[in-house]
Amino acid sequence: MQREQMKTLSDAIQQIKTDMMAYFDTKAATILSTLNCIENSFSTLGDQVVQLEQRLQRMRTTSCRRPRHARIYVPSDPTASGSRELHCSAAYRAGSPHSYCRNHERASPRSILIKLLHFQDKVKILRLARVKKELIFNGNHIFIYSADLTKRRRSFDPVKRRLRELNLKFSLRYPCTLSVWVDGKEQQFTDHKAAEDTFISFRNSSMSSPP
């Protein structure tokens, strides 16, 4: 009797073991299948991201008429003679052709604004600018626009609109100096409030220098 009970208990334990192994095998197969689906989804999403990035890059290069495969090189170190490629996340031409020609006696190429992709590149260029004092590439000056400088330059937008209405020649020089020519004389403003006080109420009909 005791042997029969032991055998029955052993059979029950073996059955439980078999059922548990089958259960875990099924779960493992389900998990592996789910992981494969997730990996395929990530792969598909990665391909879509690459396609979107390529599409955006084509749109950006087309908008600024920069060759699609153009590359920009700067010294990797201020003391080194070699150079390496910079990765740009965006590139735009500054201003519009019509406004640029209207405010200049002769038409000339507009500036190209680039936004770097990697923060380390920004740090290296800033370090290079502090050492070199002046950045020049192929005879053209390279200017650095920080967020604060961009905000200061945009503060001149209202007075620039007013100057266009008055048909007065002006230019916003780097870093943030507004030059205005009235009756052949140049006036410079580093503060947008002073420029607004001078020209917002200025009458073009008199064509006299504002006080």
The alpha carbon of residue 34 and the mean position of all alpha carbons in its chain are separated, in whole angstroms, by 37
pLDDT for 157 equals 93
> Treating both helix axes as pointing N-terminal to C-terminal, what angle do 192-199 and 157-165 enclose, rounded to 10 degrees?
30
CB 107 within 8 A of CB 129: no
Backbone angles phi, psi at 200, to 5 degrees: -60, -40
pLDDT band at 181 (very low <50, low <70, confident <90, very high): very high
d(CA 31, CA 33): 5
pLDDT in tens, 118-176: 888 888 878 887 787 777 777 777 788 777 888 999 999 999 999 999 999 999 988 89
pLDDT given for residue 84 in this prediction: 60
pLDDT at 190: 94
Rounded alpha-carbon distances, angstroms, from residue 2 to 12, 13, 16 = 15, 16, 21
CA-atom Rg of the chain in angstroms:
33
Q: How far is CA 44 from CA 30, 33, 50, 94, 145, in A?
A: 21, 17, 10, 36, 37
pLDDT at 73 over 60: no
Q: Answer yes or no: pTM beyond 0.95.
A: no
| pLDDT confidence tier of residue 193, bands split at 50, 70 and 90 | very high
Tell me whether residue 129 is exposed, middle or buried, using C-beta atoms within 10 angstroms of its C-beta: 0 to 12, 13 to 18, 19 or more. Answer: middle
CATH topology of domain 147-211: Rec A Protein; domain 2 (3.30.250)
What are 78's two structure tokens? 């201020």
Rounded to whole angstroms, how far apart are CA atoms 81 and 73?
12
Max avg pLDDT among 53-57, 70-74, 151-155? 151-155
Mean pLDDT of the chain: 75
Q: Give the side-chain half-sphere CA count within 13 A for 189.
A: 21
Domain locations in the chain? Answer: 1-63, 64-144, 147-211
Question: pLDDT at residue 76 above 50?
Answer: no
The structure tokens listed for 97 are: 């052709």
Look at residue 186 and tell me whether its pLDDT is greater than 60. Answer: yes
